[in-house]
Amino acid sequence: MSDQDHTQWTILNILQWTTNYFQEKGVQSPRLTAEILLAHTLQKGRMYLYVHHDQPLEAAERTHFKTLIKQRVQGTPTQYLTGKQEFWSIEFQVTPDVLIPRPETEHLVETAIKLSAQFPRPTIVDIGTGSGIVAISLKKELPHAEVYAGDISETALTIAKRNANHLLNGENHIVFRQGDLLQPFFGATFDLIVSNPPYCSTEEYPTLAREVRGHEPRIALYAGEQGLDVYERLIAAAPSYLKPDGYVLVEIGYGQKDAVVAIFQKHGFVINDVIKDYARIDRVVVARWHGNYKDFA
Please determine, for residue 111, whether its predicted confidence score (pLDDT) is greater than 70: yes
Q: Per-domain residue ranges for the chain?
A: 11-74, 84-296
Please determine, for residue 291, whether its predicted confidence score (pLDDT) is greater than 80: no
> What confidence tier does 129 reach under pLDDT thresholds 50, 70, 90?
very high
Please determine, for residue 176, whether its predicted confidence score (pLDDT) is greater than 80: yes
- Environment class of 144 (CB within 10 Å of its CB; exposed 0-12, middle 13-18, buried 19+): exposed
Q: What is the pLDDT of residue 16?
A: 96
Please determine, for residue 171, whether its predicted confidence score (pLDDT) is greater than 70: no
Q: What is the pLDDT of residue 3?
A: 52
pLDDT, tens digit, 9 for 90 and up, residues 47-97: 999 999 999 999 999 999 999 999 999 999 999 999 999 999 999 999 999
Among 64, 35, 29, which residue's Cα sits nearest to residue 49?
A: 35
Residue range 246-269: average pLDDT? 96
* Range from 151-155, 213-217, 239-243, 259-263 carrying the lowest mean pLDDT: 213-217
Q: What is the pLDDT of residue 7?
A: 65
Q: What is the pLDDT of residue 207?
A: 87
Any idea what the Cα angle at residue 112 is, between residues 152 and 246, rounded to 5°? Answer: 80
Q: What is the pLDDT of residue 282?
A: 96
pLDDT, tens digit, 9 for 90 and up, residues 4-45: 555 679 999 999 999 999 999 999 999 999 999 999 999 999
Please determine, for residue 203, whether its predicted confidence score (pLDDT) is greater than 90: no
Q: What is the pLDDT of residue 192?
A: 98
Among 125, 89, 127, which residue's Cα sits nearest to residue 106?
A: 89
Please determine, for residue 136, whether its predicted confidence score (pLDDT) is greater than 60: yes
Please determine, for residue 293, whether its predicted confidence score (pLDDT) is greater than 50: no
Q: What is the CATH number of domain 84-296?
A: 3.40.50.150
Task: Give the pairing type, strands 270-276 and 146-151.
Answer: unpaired
Query: Bridge-partner residues for 251, per DSSP?
Result: 284
pLDDT, tens digit, 9 for 90 and up, residues 141-169: 999 999 999 999 999 999 999 999 999 97
pTM score, two decimals?
A: 0.89
